[in-house]
Amino acid sequence: MLLVWRGLSLNVLRKEVNRACFREKAKQIMRPDDANVAGNVHGGTILKMIEEAGAIISTRHCNSQNGERCVAALARVERTDFLSPMCIGEVAHVSAEITYTSKHSVEVQVNVMSENILTGAKKLTNKATLWYVPLSLKNVDKVLEVPPVVYSRQEQEEEGRKRYEAQKLERMETKWRNGDIVQPVLNPEPNTVSYSQSSLIHLVGPSDCTLHGFVHGGVTMKLMDEVAGIVAARHCKTNIVTASVDAINFHDKIRKGCVITISGRMTFTSNKSMEIEVLVDADPVVDSSQKRYRAASAFFTYVSLSQEGRSLPVPQLVPETEDEKKRFEEGKGRYLQMKAKRQGHTEPQP
């Protein structure tokens, strides 16, 4: 991979510093193993690049002053939309900047542009907001304080504080779902939740982890997207692509040696989109004193595409149990809320 992170490769990472924030940039060419059979780059590949950018810039910032050394751990990814597909042979331009810091967290804004190197044409493919917390290298369960940034305008700090409080509240609201699990069903009917639900079991090895033995957030997100894609493909039996990812919450760290189970199930379908809930459970098999726990959760939205890349109608989901019907209505509420929000943004200004 042609990543140009300084300190992680021989290439030089361009870094600009101003009074408001740090900025960093990287490039990577998209190869066949980054894409699906139709040549579209996997959403999980893009999410992994986004997280790598966020981890580097936030870790650098948190170690920019003298004091106890730390590594920035991903706590949450806000909703991100896949605005335009990226294809094999295009170059991904990833740029990240710190936009807000609280006492114990860092907000990072990441943009992804795709470039056709034959024509030079560029387009915005992703915008994402990530939250990181600094963990001490001496004790990874200890959260350290974040060096403050200097804002060019007072409004920037006030707006950042509102975003911080909002995401903190939403993270607390997701914890009630932590006991929910995906159970297999024998001989399910087509278009039901059980028919397309899927699971992936993965043993966490050294290549998945930081130097301190914890899984990179980007690795987890890529696995989550892979499972969500399998669920969508089983339901539609067509080419599918990631359209958006709702907030991804990381409830607990995943250690090296754990066996993780990534489970996905469809919760809602509109005429042309599918919502898939993905749950990540970690089983510390090498430590009998610890029990299986919920590590992460998120909702992915996929769309079905024809061979020409046109949007196709989605087979309608048939919820059977009361829990499935409840999740369907909750998904419908999220869908209508985002639809109204998008329409509000596109309305002409008076």
Please indicate, yes or no, if residue 4 is contained in any of the structural domains: no
Task: Enter the tokens of residue 140.
Answer: 């990874």
Q: Tokens 């993905």, residue?
A: 278
Long-range Cβ contact pairs of 207-210 (< 8 A, separation 24 or more): 208/256, 209/256, 210/71
Based on the domain organization, do 135 and 106 belong to the same domain?
A: yes
Asked whether residue 178 carries a pLDDT value surpassing 70, the answer given is no
**Structural domain contains residue 275:** yes
190 with 116, same domain? no
Domain assignment present for 9: no
Task: State pLDDT tens for residues 100-118.
Answer: 999 999 999 999 999 999 9
Regarding whether 296 and 215 lie in a shared domain, the answer is: yes
Inform me whether the pLDDT recorded for 222 exceeds 80. Answer: yes
Q: Does 14 reside within a domain?
A: no
pLDDT tens digits, 80-99: 999 998 999 999 999 999 99
Q: Domain total for the chain?
A: 2
Q: Kindly calculate the radius of gyration of the chain based on its CA atoms and give it in whole angstroms.
A: 20
Choice among 40, 63, 208, 225 that is catalytic: 225
52 and 131 assigned to the same domain: yes
Residue 338's domain comprises 180-343
* 3-state SS class at 206: helix
What pLDDT is stored for residue 22 in this prediction?
Answer: 65
Rounded mean pLDDT, 201-218: 92
Q: Give pLDDT tens digits for 241-274.
A: 999 998 899 999 999 999 999 999 999 999 999 9
Read off the CATH number of the domain in which 233 is found.
3.10.129.10
**Do 60 and 187 belong together in one domain?**
no
Q: What is the pLDDT of residue 345?
A: 60
Q: In whole angstroms, what is the distance from residue 112 CA to residue 126 CA?
A: 5
> What phi and psi, each to the nearest 5 degrees, are found at residue 235?
-75, -45
- Using the 3D structure, point to which of 173, 201, 231 is the last residue of a domain: 173
Do 216 and 317 share a structural domain?
yes
Asked which of 17-21, 65-69, 232-236 is least confident by mean pLDDT, the reply is: 17-21
Residues 108 and 202 reside in one and the same domain: no
Nearest to 298 by CA among 219, 203, 228, 200: 228
Catalytic residue among 36, 111, 178, 191: 36
Return the axis-axis angle of helices 43-62 and 217-236, rounded to nearest 10°.
160
Residue in 78, 80, 132, 65 with CA at minimum distance from that of residue 101: 132
Q: Is residue 165 part of a domain?
A: yes
Mean pLDDT over 280-290 rounds to 87
pLDDT confidence band for 13 (50 / 70 / 90): very low
The widest CA-to-CA distance across the chain, in whole angstroms, is: 64
The sign one gets for the Cα dihedral 72, 74, 77, 81 is: positive
Q: Is 36 a catalytic residue?
A: yes
Q: What is the pLDDT of residue 120?
A: 94
pLDDT at 183 over 90: no
Instruction: Give the residue-averaged pLDDT of 20-26.
Output: 68
User: What pTM was computed for the model?
Assistant: 0.86
Please check whether residue 98 is in contact with residue 61, taking contact to mean a CB–CB distance below 8 angstroms: yes
| Residues 103 and 43 reside in one and the same domain | yes
Q: Which residue has the tokens 């080419």?
A: 239
In a domain, 12, yes or no: no
- 323 flagged as catalytic: no
pLDDT of 329 > 70? The answer is: yes
Name the domain boundary from 173, 190, 222.
173
For residue 70, report the phi and psi dihedrals to the nearest 5 degrees: -150, 170
31 & 105 share domain:
yes
Listed residue (276, 230, 284) closest to 257, CA to CA: 284
Q: Does 204 reside within a domain? A: yes
Are residues 332 and 184 located together in one domain of the fold? yes
- Can you tell me which residue has the tokens 């024509």? 119
Kindly indicate the confidence band of residue 23, based on its pLDDT and cuts at 50, 70 and 90: confident
Given 173, 190, 205, the domain boundary residue is 173
Is residue 5 in a domain? no
Residues 112 and 202 in one domain: no
pLDDT at residue 10 above 70?
no
The pLDDT of 153-180, averaged and rounded, is: 81
**CB-based contacts of 103, cutoff 8 Å, min separation 6:** 145, 146
- Calculate what percentage of the chain has a pLDDT beyond 70: 89
Average pLDDT over the chain reads: 87
153 with 226, same domain? Answer: no
